[in-house]
Chain A
Amino acid sequence: MARAISTRRKLTFTAIGWLVGFVIFFPILWTVITSFKTEGEAIASPPHFLFFDWTLDSYAEVQSRSNYLKHVMNSVIISFGSTFIALLIAIPAAWAMAFSPTKRTKDILMWMLSTKMLPPVGVLVPIYLLYRDWGLLDTRLGLVIVLTMINLPIIVWMLYTYFKEIPGEILEASRMDGASLAKEIIYVLTPMAVPGIASTLLLNIILAWNEAFWTLNLTAANAAPLTAFIASYSSPEGLFWAKLSAASTLAIAPILILGWFSQRQLVRGLTFGAVK
């Protein structure tokens, strides 16, 4: 039952809400604004908030100086590639766990969750040495493999919670009608599972895009995705804030938009279905 809410109360919360939202969002807003400044404007004190000559120079310079697009492509290939491969491995597994569960299914799921709790530094040294010996350091393939493996548990869990909601009777009915296992998956399960698969895909692309342990440790100039490329702006010599801002704005804008669309899946995916 909706209660009558006084206008004054609503206006008060509007003011507080927007103020808080502005403060939390400010670092991002400030990055976007700074990306349209010259380097001189960027460090002006007191800061110029809106009244300055807006320019796209920083964006042009980021590209011409460092082949920015190559790093964008690396990010795209690594995040999309690892997510797709992990999905291909995870869909059959999650299907099996959701529709023919055994006594051990729960244990396997918990074990998968536990692999996620393994701190990456626990395996940093061997992975680094193996990659060095196999020539996988600073390659896109190497990162696709690592990110596939670290996101696989989350993907299995998410898919499992989505598949669990599909009534098993429908699958049994199709089985009674003589559908083979392959047909069952392609024609019956997939259409019903597509929304869940899509949300899983979305969330994991976001996670892979922003992953910043393995991308920083296993790449150099060649395969560096945006996380690693932007880290190179941490060098102390010179203040290149406008260029840093331009590179950052482009790196976070697409994923921010995807993220805004996926906020509900985010809760579900990152809590392993514990909060819906």
Chain B
Amino acid sequence: MATLQTRSAARLMMSPAVLLLFAWMIVPLAMTLYFSFLRYNLLMPGMEEWAGTLNYHYFLTDPAFGTALLNTLLLVGGVLLITLAGGTLLALLLDQPFFGQGIVRLLVIAPFFVMPTVSALVWKNMLMHPVYGIFAWIARSLGLQPVDWLNNLPLFSVTMIVAWQWLPFATLILLTALQSLDEEQKEAAEMDGAGPISRFVYIVLPHLARAMTVVVLIETIFLLSVFAEILVTTNGGPGNESTNITYLVYAQALLQFDVGGASAGGIVAVILANLVAIFLIRLIGKNLEA
């Protein structure tokens, strides 16, 4: 029972967090919006002038935008596909009793705690290097031609690196969900003669649906903003082959000093993220009610 006094105290205690977050969100966002209508380049200070929607026009008609949008979708989609499929298999595996299960579990979740710059550089150099990398050595041992991963398959390589980082997250969440499954339900189905595959399809998979939705939602939010992995491996290249929206805006802002153009790109990124977020929040909301 909240009294009047505690209610006002509650409001007082909430206000720093709410106000700070509000300021953090609204002030810079408003500035981005304002800059996006200016012709504003850091290399030409004092020359700012109103540009209308010109920045948007340039950004959206730049062929690099189309490429970056496609790359973003491919990267997010690819990583989601790998982590959901791989995470489900790993969760099923880790749910089986075997010797040293606890240790294997620690090994499997370890990549999540590796900082993005380290995992990207380790993969780029020690695994994917076309001459000295482990993959090249494996290829040569099998009598195959080593692949120059980051030059010939840049987006695929970045997808692999990011998927490796996010696989543990999907695994952990799906495993947690799996372990909350009622054991008796599975046993009852088994007694009724359901084989392992139909038990998986009709009992386990529906039970995992909510956890999978959560994985999709959260990974998408983070994956739309993949940055460090691209910066230290390919710099978005060759050409624009591995540039995503985040990297494109970064390049426009901090490499070309085009404040107006980068701001327009930032607003476009915000709109895209919101489209996904609204869609996903609805999905998760439905799932939460069920």
Which A residues are within 8 Å of any B CB, using their own CB?
1, 3, 5, 10-11, 13-14, 16-18, 20-22, 24-25, 27-28, 30-31, 34, 43, 45-47, 89-90, 92-93, 95-97, 99-100, 102, 108, 110, 112, 114-130, 149, 152-153, 156, 172, 181, 206, 209-210, 212-213, 216-217, 226-228, 230-231, 233-234, 239, 241, 244-245, 248, 251-252, 255-256, 258-260, 263, 266-267, 270-271, 274-276
A24 to chain B: which residues have CB within 8 Å? Answer: 107-108, 110-111, 164, 167-168
Inter-subunit contact A1/B218 (CB<8 Å): no
A234 touches B232 (CB 8 A): yes
Q: Does B1 count as interface, using CB distance less than 8 angstroms?
A: yes
B64 at the interface (CB under 8 A from A): no
Q: How large is the interface on B (under 10, 10 to 19, 20 to 34, 35 or more residues)?
A: 35 or more
B225 in contact with A14 (CB, 8 Å): no
Known: A46-B137, A251-B115. A118 touches B126 (CB 8 A): no
On whether the beta carbons of A118 and B25 are closer than 8 Å, the reply is yes
Contacts A11-B99, A27-B122, A122-B266 supplied; 7 other A-B pairs, CB < 8 Å: A16-B93, A27-B126, A46-B141, A125-B31, A230-B117, A234-B232, A260-B106
Which residue of B10, B11, B96, B232 has the most chain A CB atoms within 10 A of its CB atom?
B10
Look across to chain B and name the residue whose beta carbon is closest to the beta carbon of A248.
Answer: B118
- B107 close to A119 (CB less than 8 A): no
Q: Are A13 and B233 in contact (CB under 8 A)?
A: no
Complex contact B20–A152 (CB within 8 A): yes
Q: Bound complex: CA of A152 vs CA of B24, how far in Å?
A: 11
Chain B residues with CB under 8 A of A92: 13-14, 16-17
A residues less than 8 Å from B211 (CB atoms)? 275
CB of A17 within 8 A of CB of B93, answer yes
User: 19 A-B pairs, CB-CB below 8 angstroms?
Assistant: A14-B98, A18-B104, A27-B111, A27-B126, A27-B164, A93-B18, A97-B14, A118-B25, A121-B246, A122-B28, A123-B29, A126-B31, A126-B263, A216-B117, A217-B250, A234-B124, A234-B233, A244-B125, A259-B109
Cβ contact of A266, chosen from B117, B172, B263, cutoff 8 A: B172
Once the chains are docked, how many angstroms separate the CA of A102 from the CA of B141? Answer: 66
Candidates A89, A118, A128; contact of B17 at CB < 8 Å: A89
Shortest CB distance A159–B (Å): 10
Q: A95-B13, A108-B18, A213-B225 are in contact. Are A256 and B93 (CB under 8 A)?
A: no
Pick the most buried of A30, A97, A125: most chain B CB atoms within 10 A of its CB: A125
Decide: A93 near B116, CB < 8 A? Known: A125-B266, A241-B126, A256-B110: no
Do the beta carbons of B114 and A21 come within 8 Å of each other? Answer: no
B60 contacts partner chain A, Cβ-Cβ < 8 Å:
no
Q: Which residue of A lies closest to B273 (CB)?
A: A119
| A10 contact from B98, B122, B126, B183, Cβ within 8 A | B98
Which residues in A have their C-beta under 8 angstroms from that of B277?
114, 117
- Contact residues of B with A, CB < 8 Å? 1-2, 6-7, 9-11, 13-14, 16-18, 20-21, 24-25, 27-29, 31-32, 35, 90, 93-94, 96-101, 103-119, 121-127, 131-132, 134, 137, 141, 164, 167-169, 172-173, 176-177, 183-184, 187, 210-211, 214, 218, 221, 224-225, 227-228, 231-233, 245-246, 249-250, 253-254, 259, 262-263, 265-267, 269-270, 272-274, 277, 281, 284, 288
* A14-B98, A122-B29 known; A20 vs B108 contact (CB < 8 Å): yes
Give Cα A27 to B126, complex, Å.
8
Complex alpha-carbon distance, A258 and B109, angstroms: 12
A266 — nearest CB in chain B belongs to which residue? Answer: B172
B119 touches which of A27, A45, A46, A209 (Cβ 8 Å): A27
Return the chain B residue nearest A112 by Cβ: B21
- Among A1, A45, A46, A212, which residue has the most Cβ atoms of chain B within 10 A? A212
